[in-house]
Structure formats: C-alpha cells, structure tokens
C-alpha cells in the first residue's frame, strides 16, 4: 500500500510542478510580448493549461473522492470560461484599436487567394530561370507549391522537356502581354 501512495504522490507532484512551469512560461510571455493580443494569448493558454495541470495534480494527490470530483468540475468550468472570456476581450481590443495598421494586417479571402496564386507563379518562374528542370519540378511536386501547369507535369512525370515547353510558353505569354 505504501508503494501506491508514493506513486500517487510522485504523479501528483509531477503534475503540480508541470503546471507551475507553465505558469512561469506564461508570465515570461506576458511580460515579453509588446502587443496586447499576444500577451492575452500567452495568458489565456497559460491559465488553461497551468490551472488544468495543477488541479489534476491535486486530484491525483487527494485520491478519488468527492473533493476530486469538485476539482474536476472546476477544471471543466475553466476550460470553457477562460477561452470564451479571452476571445471576447480580444474581440473588443480589435474593434476598439485606434491604430490597427500598426499592430496587424487585415486580409480578405481574395487577397489570400491572390497571394497563393502569386506564390505559385513565382515558383514556376523561378524554376524556369534556374534551368534546373528535373530537380526543381520534383522538389515543387514534393512541397506541393507548384502552379497548375507544373502540377500537370508532376502528374505526368515528364519533367525536363515539359518544363522547357512551359518556360517557352511563359516567355511567349509575357511577350504577348507587352505587345498588347
């Protein structure tokens, strides 16, 4: 029986110490970050995890009784209340921020899609400029950052010749765009 009590004590102590370490990391994040939303994120994550592990350690140390059930309900309540309240406070900060351009950049879904398309086009152009057709296409296929025409090459596995055709086609498209 004494061995089980020691295991219970050590497991509870480990959970308590882990919770305290999370609290220390939370405090470092709160003091280190400059923008209020970053600080709130550190505080909310730290509270949820830190309190959860600390109370779980107390549950393990206390044994399975009515007090442990109460502590479990406190954990459940905090897991619902802390993220919800943090979200509402963060939303208030975003809506009342007087200088949003200083802190963050708002993106519409069209901007995200355009950015992704630009990245794909840049990958294909880079591939043409480097003239490393086979290796570059295989790398793009693995990274899944290829433009539509390069994706077709990935499926067909015709790397060197097809990339040259793709590069020539892009040069023709660029020349046609300049003429128009």
Assessment of whether the complete model's pTM goes beyond 0.95? no
For residue 17, what pLDDT is reported?
Answer: 96
- pLDDT one-digit tens code per residue, 163-178: 556 656 555 554 455 4
Interatomic CA distance for residues 44 and 93, integer angstroms: 15
Low-confidence ranges of the chain (pLDDT < 70): 1, 103, 106-180
For residue 167, what pLDDT is reported?
Answer: 59
Tokens of 176: 């046609």
- pLDDT one-digit tens code per residue, 93-128: 888 877 777 767 766 666 655 655 555 555 555 555
**Dihedral sign from CA coordinates of 26, 30, 32, 35:** positive
């Amino acid at each position: 029986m004494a061995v089980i009590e020691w295991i219970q004590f050590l497991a509870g102590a480990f959970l308590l110490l882990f919770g305290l370490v999370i609290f220390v990391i939370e405090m470092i994040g709160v003091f280190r970050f400059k923008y209020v939303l970053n600080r709130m994120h550190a505080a909310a994550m730290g509270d949820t995890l830190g309190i959860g592990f600390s109370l779980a350690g107390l549950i393990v140390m206390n044994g399975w009784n009515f007090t442990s059930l109460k502590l479990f309900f406190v954990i459940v309540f905090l897991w619902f209340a802390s993220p919800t309240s943090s979200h509402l406070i963060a939303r208030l900060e975003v809506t009342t921020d007087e200088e949003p351009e200083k802190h963050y950049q708002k993106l519409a879904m069209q901007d995200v899609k355009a950015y992704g398309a630009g990245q794909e086009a840049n990958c294909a152009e880079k591939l043409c400029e480097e003239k490393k057709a086979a290796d570059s296409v295989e790398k793009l296929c693995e990274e899944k950052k290829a433009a539509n025409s390069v994706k077709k090459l990935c499926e067909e596995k015709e790397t060197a010749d097809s990339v040259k055709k793709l590069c020539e086609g892009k040069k023709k498209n660029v020349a046609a765009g300049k003429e128009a």
